[in-house]
Amino acid sequence: MPTVTLTVNGRQVSADVDARTLLVQFLRENLRLTGTHVGCDTSQCGACVVHVDGKAVKSCTTFAVQCEGADVVTIEGLAKDGKLHPMQEAFREHHGLQCGFCTPGMIMSAVDIVNRKGAVDEATIREELEGNICRCTGYHNIVRAVEAGALAMTGKAPARQAAE
Amino acid sequence: MYPFKYHKAATVRGAVAILKKAEEPKLLAGGQTLIPTMKQRLASPKALVDLAGAGLSGIEQKGRTIVIGAMTTHAEVANSAVVQAAIPALAKLAGHIGDPQVRHRGTIGGSVANNDPAADYPAALMALGATVHTNKRKLAAEEFFAGLFSTALDEDEIVTKVAFPVPGKAGYVKFPNPASRYAIVGVFVAKKGRSVRVAVTGAGSDGVFRHEAMEEALGKRFNPKSLDGIATPAGNLNGDIHASAEYRAHLIGVIAKRAVAAAA
Amino acid sequence: MTVTAIGSAVRRKEDHRFITGKGQYTDDINRPGQTHAYFLRSPHAHATLKKVDIARAKTMPGVVAIYTGDDVAADKVGGLICGWMIHSKDGTPMRAGPHPILAQGKVRYVGDHVAVVVAETLAQAKDAAEAIDVDYGVLPANVDTAGAQAKGAPEVHSEAPNNTVYDWHIGDKAATEAAFKAAKHVTKLDIVNNRLVPNAMEPRAAVGEYDAGNDALTLYTTSQNPHVARLIMSAFLGIAPEHKLRVIAPDVGGGFGSKIFVYAEETVCVWAARKCGRPVKWTADRTEEFLCVAHGRDHVTRAELATDAEGKITGLRVKTIANMGAYLSTFASSVPTYLYATLLSGQYAIPNIYAEVDAVYTNTSPVDAYRGAGRPEATFVVERLVEAAAREIGMDPAAFRKRNFVSKFPHQTPVIMNYDAGDYKASLVKAMDMADVKGFGKRKREAAKQGKLRGLGYSTYIEACGIAPSQAVGSLGAGVGLWESAEVRVNPVGTVEVLTGSHSHGQGHETTFAQLVSSRLGISIDNVSIVHGDTDKVQFGMGTYGSRSGAVGMSAISKALDKIEAKAKKVAAHVLEAAEADIDFKDGQFTVKGTDKSVDFGTVALNAYIAHKFNPQELEPGLKEGSFYDPTNFTFPAGCHICEIEVDQETGVASIVKWTAVDDFGNVINPMIVEGQVHGGIAQGVGQALLESAIYNKDGQLVTASFMDYAMPRAHDLPSFDVGMTVTPCPSNPLGIKGCGEAGAIASPPAVINALTDALGTENVPMPATPQVLWQVIQRQSKMAKAAE
């Protein structure tokens, strides 16, 4: 079995894995980081989105062995020192989640959108959320959350205030 | 998924060596099509050769040609200042493949080697008259693509880069499948001097194809109106639950016009 | 300390765990020594099982056990039940075939459960499943709803001749026929309500565990109603008696009805856990979810509306064939009958209604309640008929509606329902204002200049929620009561735990329910926790579906709070040394009338437990009360949705440019959460109208069995929604709540199709109105226009 060594949420981890282990399985089963979810088999739904070397990817469509030496951040690693990431804060403030299942992937994608594009408008957010499916919210409040989270991340407004 | 042996190649030569000796090997580029297929047990390679470390990534301009390494991701192509300046239609095409996460991992080499009949890149290669470089040879796009999911590649042959001549103008418009977001119809038009090429993806029952009647009409006058009245026979087109062959034939006309209008 | 008022948009208490990845969904649960189950499923829609040979598979690496229908029969495990008895016109009970948890002798749809492999790893279980040797005697498949009863159609169950489960009717046939004879105008529509796959983002999952020391079983499962699951597994399947079976539904990632039902997989997991002595885990992949979750809708209907010379509706007549799939799912029989035909009066005063419904078996996945359950189908029929009738008789569709609205309450319809309160005109008028209907003509002309066809469609819907009272639904065939339970436990320090039989899988109960307690007891919302989803903690409950948690579940909490308040007053009287009758309770303070003496709720709670100040022979110590609340009537949320849509004539692509919703949900506890429910409902309804369709080919293969082929609404398929409200409090429950969970999904499909039929100038626009479908309609229209020239 190949050995894979990578950094997950700032912590170096190493394990012998069956080569067919997907990154999402590695996170959920080896590391018990169950915040990353699996909602489909065809790389459509985005519940499994994590950041690999700073970029959003679908962890259900990535082998763990492909991540040798990579820096992986999951939903569990987004808050720092007990303080929520502005995008997490914005999702709560704008009711951008209901059942919560798509939420980790949605938030990881949203952070990635802002990392790439800065403060984004509604049309861009809707287009950029192409790879994330939510069945609960109708996306209305997700869009509001990403708008506010983007402003907060880019220093234009705190996520909380933006809701008032 | 069935078990397989994982190999990581440090060079193209190393990858070829593994391909030659491994049992039922397959190359792993971005994996965005291959991995879902393996998960559903529809593909069962006994070995995977990962090209991520083989030095095949990068974009450069060589005179009037844009050369893109096989392991360059769709996101890198979409965001490349070089591609955006020289062939904006190609950057736009890459920026609409799959979704942002898929674009972070999916590669041009993987896409062309897979030759999915609904993939976007094959249309660009055909319309722009691109050349596919392999470890063995150089192939014109038209020689390279050989029908549904098949190419001219030998078993131990690896796509290393794709070279796109810079056109005068080019445009790409995709009509996506509402579920998978693959192209139901995608039309790439490219004008270089007086020659115009029109390549259609998503629609042909034999994969990407060039639309000669449209090329001829646009060669006379590069304007959406030139395409008025040019019908596409439905006989060789795909039909499925999302789009019948007749609807696809109709869409080719509409989308081609829009691609011409969008050409820059 | 802040008290959270009813009506405040307080942020959700449960969100912290979800946004930090700390939710606990069933697949996140792993038990020591756990094994993995994989189901070998039928690749054929209809076949006899000539041989199921597991001998070789059993020897495969990692295999713990393999079970088939023979093992189920040997253990005398009962079949899955349908809990609502419907009688046919002739009085005979519905004809239901057996529904074993593993197939016995025959498979009846693609995905039907042939065997289960339990192995150390999932991959090993799959490998072994591939090694099971099955000899299928393939039979012709019956997949067409409308043709299921045809002569010679393949028979799904021998118990149901002509594949007819029941032929049921409601209403006065003779009076309705007379109304049609006397009508000035009759509008006729043929309607197909497309089959949908609920597709909660969390696929179904289960972990069964056996505690040999206590001979007790625990099942973790993705359920909207764990107590009902336990009841069925105990009473009908004989898995274990209720006191030996604990069912836990932890965080559940959406349900929309699909997780109400008791399915084969979770039953097998808990049964197999005892048989093999190891925890057994199963999680559906998305394709399994597509194949084996209960689907929704799938009606074929002929509908007619009679109007008089003044544009008043005089009669409505419907004949519907409802597809049940291959087996009757848990509540399947009630959906096209009491949840459908009883809503055919819509918001209108219709004197005569007659509906006939045939339920048919086919070789497809079972069909059961999906968000709205029967009511979207009814609303689609009524709102399409009304729109078409108005156009045919040359009346403005809004004016036609106003002329026919029910305006006096209570209103008895000819189909059981007694509407208790509403103001239908108010929501229509407000929605028309918000949607700027006046400016539509100008917008339509401007769109036309861009080659776009613009249309505007109304849907003035009504629904019946909080199905009740139990006595009434019992008389209609329901196998269960439809009350809800609550227990309020006040801790000695004055914090509160509420145990509820409702189940939250996205609805935000942990917040809204706590909000009610906070405002009633005058304590911080942070000092209230809501406990649900565990049969060992909550004594009994009916679960969450049919938009019942607010109207029924919260009413039960309210009733329990009444009792808490009454007892706390007794304790406070002793603490304050005053007569009980002189104690007032407000804002968390007990006061003595006419004095400045007061004591806070926490102190009273403490005194209830230390019991120093009263005689325990007269007043029991402690502060804990429960309630079983059974409502007096259904509730009737209603409202008006207006869709404005644009169609690209060249491609057939429809884009919703504006969506206005004005709903009357009665009193609202948390408007933020209620609006979120509306948004989500609209999205699912728009999905039905424009994108989604479960398609079987003639062999019974589900062609749309993944997100590659089944189009789910994505962010760019939808606009932002303009949501408003009107309020007529519900008189049938103490909180005046009507329910909001399904309204959006009920209201929206006809709004979309009415907008499209307006844009395209034809009533013949099927769902889903995909670009291809709309392009075909445009082609047909232009051909007809040419022919007319």
Tell me the residue range of the domain where B42 lies: 5-50
Q: Are strands B209-210 and B195-201 parallel, antiparallel or unpaired?
A: antiparallel
Q: CATH topology of C299-467+633-788 equal to that of C483-629? A: yes
Q: What pLDDT, on a 0 to 100 scale, did the predictor assign at position B208?
A: 95
Using CB atoms, pick whichever of C651, C695, C703 lies closest to residue B175.
C651
When pLDDT is cut at 50, 70 and 90, the band that residue A162 belongs to is very low
Mutation for testing the A interface, residue in B8, B73, B101 having most A CBs under 10 Å: B101
H-run or E-run covering B110: helix B108-114
Q: What is the mean pLDDT of residues B152-174?
A: 97
Domain final residue pick, B146, B165, B184? B165
pLDDT in tens, C516-541: 999 999 999 999 999 999 999 999 99
Answer yes or no: do C200 and A107 touch at CB < 8 A.
no
- Assign residue C155 a region (left: φ > 0; alpha: ψ between -120 and 50; beta: otherwise): beta
In this complex, is the C-beta atom of B244 within 8 Å of any C-beta atom belonging to chain C? yes
C-alpha span between C659 and C544 (Å, rounded)? 28
Reference A129, options A45, A52, A60, A39; nearest CA is A45
The residue behind tokens 């609920």 is C198
DSSP annotation of C261:
S
C-alpha span between C662 and C724 (Å, rounded)? 5
Q: Which two tokens stand for residue C387?
A: 């729109």
The CATH architecture to which C483-629 belongs is: 2-Layer Sandwich (3.30)
Mutation for testing the A interface, residue in C19, C660, C670, C688 having most A CBs under 10 Å: C19
Q: Which two tokens stand for residue B240?
A: 């499925």
Question: Do B160 and B244 fall within a single domain?
Answer: no
pLDDT in tens, C12-57: 999 999 999 999 999 999 999 999 999 999 999 999 999 999 999 9
The residue behind tokens 């708008």 is A147
Average pLDDT, chain C: 97
Range of lowest pLDDT (C147-156, C340-349, C462-471): C462-471
Using CB atoms, pick whichever of C12, C28, C715 lies closest to residue A92.
C12
Partnered with residue C598 across adjacent β-strands are: C591
Residue B206's Cβ-side half-sphere holds a number of Cα atoms within 13 Å equal to 10
Q: What pLDDT, on a 0 to 100 scale, did the predictor assign at position A160?
A: 59
Answer yes or no: do A56 and B180 touch at CB < 8 A.
no
Give CA separation, C235 vs B234, C202, C206, C240, C241, in Å: 59, 28, 20, 8, 7
Which residue pairs from C158-164 have beta carbons closer than 8 angstroms and sit at least 24 positions apart in sequence? C158/C97, C159/C95, C159/C96, C159/C97, C159/C98, C160/C95, C160/C96, C160/C97, C160/C361, C161/C95, C163/C360, C163/C361, C163/C362, C164/C95, C164/C358, C164/C359, C164/C360, C164/C361
What strands lie across the sheet with C528-531, from one edge to the other? Answer: C528-531, C496-500, C484-490, C624-629
In this complex, is the C-beta atom of B6 within 8 Å of any C-beta atom belonging to chain A? yes
* Domains and their CATH numbers in chain A: 3-77 (3.10.20.30), 86-159 (1.10.150.120)
Q: What is the mean pLDDT of residues C284-298?
A: 97
Interface subset of B 11-50, CB within 8 angstroms of A: 28, 31-32, 35-36, 38-40, 48, 50
Q: What pLDDT, on a 0 to 100 scale, did the predictor assign at position C533?
A: 96
Which residue pairs from C437-446 have beta carbons closer than 8 angstroms and sit at least 24 positions apart in sequence? C437/C398, C437/C642, C440/C644, C443/C644
Answer yes or no: do A63 and B31 touch at CB < 8 A.
yes
Res. A163: pLDDT tops 50: no
Res. A161: pLDDT tops 80: no
- CA end-to-end span of chain B: 44
Q: What is the number of other CB atoms lying within 10 angstroms of the CB of residue C90?
A: 7
Q: What is the mean pLDDT of residues C713-738?
A: 96
Task: Answer whether C180's CB lies under 8 Å from C116's CB.
Answer: no
CATH class for the domain made up of C31-139+201-254+259-292: alpha beta
CATH at B45? 3.30.43.10
pLDDT in tens, B83-114: 999 999 999 999 999 999 999 999 999 999 99
Buried b (16+ CB within 10 A) or exposed e, C456-486: bbbbbbbbbbbbbbbebbeebbbbbebbbbb
Q: What is the number of other CB atoms lying within 10 angstroms of the CB of residue C89?
A: 11
Q: What pLDDT, on a 0 to 100 scale, did the predictor assign at position C1?
A: 55
CATH at B182? 3.30.390.50
pLDDT in tens, C52-87: 999 999 999 999 999 999 999 999 999 999 999 999
In percent, how much of chain B has pLDDT > 90?
Answer: 98
Q: What is the mean pLDDT of residues C676-688?
A: 98
Residue of A nearest to B101 (CA): A57
DSSP annotation of C87:
B
Q: What pLDDT, on a 0 to 100 scale, did the predictor assign at position C480?
A: 86
Q: What pLDDT, on a 0 to 100 scale, did the predictor assign at position C410?
A: 96
Which residue intervals of chain A are DSSP H helices? 23-25, 86-93, 103-117, 122-128, 140-153, 159-163
Q: C656 by DSSP, 3-state: which?
A: strand
Q: Enumerate the domain spans of chain C.
A: 31-139+201-254+259-292, 299-467+633-788, 483-629
Q: Which two tokens stand for residue C787?
A: 């022919």
Q: What is the mean pLDDT of residues C627-637?
A: 94
Answer yes or no: do C256 and A143 touch at CB < 8 A.
no
Q: What pLDDT, on a 0 to 100 scale, did the predictor assign at position A72?
A: 98
In this complex, is the C-beta atom of B239 within 8 Å of any C-beta atom belonging to chain C? no
When pLDDT is cut at 50, 70 and 90, the band that residue B138 belongs to is very high
Res. B237: pLDDT tops 90: yes
Q: What is the mean pLDDT of residues A59-78?
A: 98
Task: Answer whether B188's CB lies under 8 Å from B170's CB.
Answer: yes
Domain final residue pick, B125, B148, B165? B165
C-alpha span between C307 and C352 (Å, rounded)? 11
Res. B204: pLDDT tops 60: yes
Residue B25's Cβ-side half-sphere holds a number of Cα atoms within 13 Å equal to 26
Where would I find the beta strands (DSSP E) of C326-476? 353-361, 411-412, 418-419, 452-462
Q: Is the dihedral of CA A19, A20, A21, A24 positive or negative?
A: positive
Q: What pLDDT, on a 0 to 100 scale, did the predictor assign at position C628?
A: 95
C-alpha span between B138 and C314 (Å, rounded)? 77
DSSP annotation of B210:
E
When pLDDT is cut at 50, 70 and 90, the band that residue C467 belongs to is confident
Res. C580: pLDDT tops 80: yes
Interface subset of B 31-70, CB within 8 angstroms of C: 40-41
Q: What pLDDT, on a 0 to 100 scale, did the predictor assign at position C789?
A: 79
pLDDT in tens, C746-755: 999 999 999 9
DSSP annotation of A102:
S
Reference C401, options C751, C725, C636, C659; nearest CA is C751
In percent, how much of chain C has pLDDT > 70?
Answer: 100
The counts of H helices and E strands in chain C are: 19, 28
Answer yes or no: do A35 and C23 touch at CB < 8 A.
yes
Q: Which two tokens stand for residue B223?
A: 């304007």
pLDDT in tens, A105-154: 999 999 999 999 999 999 999 999 999 999 999 999 999 999 999 999 99
Q: What is the mean pLDDT of residues B219-227?
A: 97
Q: Which two tokens stand for residue C21?
A: 């990845």
Reference C704, options C39, C197, C111, C146; nearest CA is C197
In this complex, is the C-beta atom of C701 within 8 Å of any C-beta atom belonging to chain B? no
Q: What is the number of other CB atoms lying within 10 angstroms of the CB of residue B173?
A: 24
Answer yes or no: do A41 and C287 touch at CB < 8 A.
yes
- How remote is the C-alpha of C395 from its chain's centroid? 35
Reference C268, options C125, C414, C411; nearest CA is C125
C-alpha span between C162 and C120 (Å, rounded)? 45
Q: What is the number of other CB atoms lying within 10 angstroms of the CB of residue C137?
A: 13
Using CB atoms, pick whichever of C23, C673, C706 lies closest to residue A95.
C673
Interface subset of C 716-735, CB within 8 angstroms of A: 716, 718, 720-721
The angle formed by the CA atoms of residues B193, B199 and B205, to the nearest 5 degrees, is 160
Q: B15 by DSSP, 3-state: which?
A: helix
Mutation for testing the B interface, residue in A5, A45, A63 having most B CBs under 10 Å: A63
The residue behind tokens 């981890």 is A13
C-alpha span between B49 and C565 (Å, rounded)? 71
C-alpha span between C331 and B55 (Å, rounded)? 59
pLDDT in tens, C201-256: 999 999 999 999 999 999 999 999 999 999 999 999 999 999 999 999 999 999 99
Q: What pLDDT, on a 0 to 100 scale, did the predictor assign at position B260?
A: 98
- How remote is the C-alpha of C364 from its chain's centroid? 20
ipTM of model: 0.97
In this complex, is the C-beta atom of A91 within 8 Å of any C-beta atom belonging to chain C? yes
Q: What is the mean pLDDT of residues C293-304?
A: 98
Q: C287 by DSSP, 3-state: which?
A: helix
CATH number of the structural domain C299-467+633-788: 3.30.365.10
Average pLDDT, chain B: 97
Q: Are strands A11-16 and C245-248 parallel, antiparallel or unpaired?
A: unpaired
Residue of A nearest to C290 (CA): A40
Question: Do B255 and B193 fall within a single domain?
Answer: yes
Q: What pLDDT, on a 0 to 100 scale, did the predictor assign at position C547?
A: 84
Shortest alpha-carbon distance between residue C129 and chain B (Å): 13
When pLDDT is cut at 50, 70 and 90, the band that residue C164 belongs to is very high
Report chain C residues whose CB lies below 8 A from the CB of A84: 19-20
Q: What pLDDT, on a 0 to 100 scale, did the predictor assign at position A159?
A: 61
Which residue intervals of C10-110 are DSSP H helices? 15-19, 55-58, 69-74
When divided into structural domains, chain B yields a total of 3
Q: What pLDDT, on a 0 to 100 scale, did the predictor assign at position A164?
A: 39
Question: Do B188 and B246 fall within a single domain?
Answer: yes
